[in-house]
Amino acid sequence: MKKLILFCSVFSLSFLTAQNRQITFETGNWASVLQKAKKENKLIFIDAYTTWCGPCKHMAKHVFTKDSVADYFNSKFVNYKMDMEKGEGIEFAKKYQVNCYPNLLFIDGNENLVHRGAGSMGTQDFISFAGNSMNPKENFTAMKTAYEKTGVNESNITAYIDLLSGACLDPSEKVTSYIKTVKEEDLMSRTNWVLMRDYVSDHRSREMTYFLKNIPAYETKFGKDTVSLKLAALGASYFSDHVKAATLDKAAYEKAKKDFEAMKWPNSEKILFDADMRVNKKFDKDAYYKLAASGFLKYNNDNAPALNSMAWTFYEKVTDASQLKAGVEMARRANELKEYYAFMDTYAAVLYKAGNYSEAEKMALKAIDKAKLDKMSEDEYKETSELLKQIRTKLNSK
């Protein structure tokens, strides 16, 4: 009987051990990892991470510890973790353009980039992704080289963008070069419209000049909403030089506004309001809050997140009574549009700061009820609970 128990214990221990394999990462410096990769003729898999990156932690805990992942990576690669904000990681991030986390790279023993991607992946996707690093036609560098050798065109530009974007690399330069080669009559194709919409921001460019002359045609083909969003973004870019300036040239800015008005731009009133908001936020905070109080609700009446955000800003920064009333109205409208705990919390807070304690109490209680309904922990809504205490202190002191 003792032998049987011992056997079962050993079997159980072996079973548990077998289910807890994980990727084995090298502990030496980068030079020693390169040396090992050369010696074993393997690619190096680099987990480029930061300590604050949530998806990095998820991969480390839930993917790197899978048996299938561990077996594959430990047999095929030399594995190395590197914090991009410490030690050798700082220069590594610059050299290999590590712009987001986790960044997952495969590099050979001569420090040549072979394959890369970014973001959290599931077990099978991660293994497939790693397998592509050893495929001379499917790895990142091979595919990027092939696109650039044959020439980026309308049929492959989207795939090229996806390749770079999937590694958190900016495709703007190549897109800009490509769009300049497109004939005007082809700027109306769906692919080229998407590129213009997402990457062309200069209102003076040939592409945007053509777009502005043919707005009705673009609206018919691609929809008014998407065209309206592009017009707003494009209009904002008209004033970018003034927003970015170290000091505001008021005369030049006012002239730019008059020139813009003369262009009869669609939705120009809102674009001018937004421009004044951006300029004042940087150069005149008092004017910024005054302007927001007078017009932000009007121009963002159906944008609940924007209204909530501005109302919270008023709660934190504004003391003027009339402006606080405007903040209350923004929060009220945000709550009309969306019943979110965060919006209710903001509404309660700005009501409290405006001195409307009875309504603030009602809204704080409503926010807490919503948090409980959403199964939030007490810690997650503790700030609302603290606010409720402050509100009741004010009510009891009356």
pLDDT of res. 202: 85
Minimal CA–CA distance to 105: which of 140, 54, 153, 148?
A: 140
Do residues 331 and 311 touch, judged by C-beta distance below 8 A?
yes
User: Which amino acid is it at 256?
Assistant: A
With DSSP H G I counted as helix, E B as strand and the rest as coil, what are the percentages for the chain, rounded to 5? 65, 5, 30
Q: Which residues pair with 83 in a beta bridge?
A: 49
d(CA 349, CA 322): 16
Q: Which residues pair with 103 in a beta bridge?
A: 48, 118
d(CA 115, CA 45): 9
Through-space distance between the first and last CA atoms of the chain, rounded to whole angstroms: 78
| Span 292-334, pLDDT tens digits | 999 999 999 999 999 999 999 999 999 999 999 999 999 999 9
Q: Which residue has the tokens 């290999």?
A: 96
53 annotated active-site: yes
The distance of Cα 57 from the centroid of its chain, to the nearest Å, equals 18
Positions in the chain short of pLDDT 50: 1-18
Minimal CA–CA distance to 236: which of 287, 183, 299?
A: 299
CATH class (in words) of the domain with range 2-134: alpha beta
Spell out the long-range contacts of 166-174 with Cβ–Cβ below 8 A and sequence spacing 24 or more. Answer: 166/117, 166/118, 166/119, 167/103, 167/116, 167/117, 167/118, 167/140, 168/98, 168/99, 168/100, 168/103, 168/118, 169/97, 169/99, 170/99, 171/199, 172/199, 174/148
* φ, ψ dihedrals at 249, nearest 5°: -90, 95
Do residues 178 and 198 touch, judged by C-beta distance below 8 A?
no
d(CA 39, CA 208): 55
d(CA 319, CA 354): 8
Taking the domains of the chain in order of start, what are their residue ranges? Answer: 2-134, 185-227, 238-282, 284-398
pLDDT of res. 295: 96
Cβ neighbours of 245 (radius 10 Å)? 14
> Measured over all CA atoms, what is the biggest interatomic distance in the chain, rounded to whole angstroms?
96
Residues in the chain: 398
CATH topology of domain 284-398: 1.25.40
Give pTM, 2 decimals: 0.65
pLDDT of res. 3: 36
User: Which amino acid is it at 168?
Assistant: C
State the DSSP string of 320-352. Answer: -HHHHHHHHHHHHHHHHH---HHHHHHHHHHHH
**In whole numbers, what is the pLDDT of the chain averaged over residues?**
91
| Span 94-145, pLDDT tens digits | 999 999 999 999 999 999 999 999 999 999 999 999 999 999 999 999 999 9
State the DSSP string of 266-317. Answer: TTHHHHHHHHHHHHHHHH-HHHHHHHHHHHHHHHTTT-HHHHHHHHHHHHHH
Minimal CA–CA distance to 60: which of 140, 133, 126, 13?
A: 126
DSSP letter assigned to residue 139: S
The DSSP element (H or E) to which 114 belongs, if any, is strand 113-118
d(CA 214, CA 201): 17
Q: What is the 3-state secondary structure (H, E, C) of 58-100?
A: HHHHHCCCCHHHHHHHHHHEEEEEEECCCCHHHHHHHHCCCCC
d(CA 284, CA 289): 9
Do residues 343 and 335 touch, judged by C-beta distance below 8 A?
yes
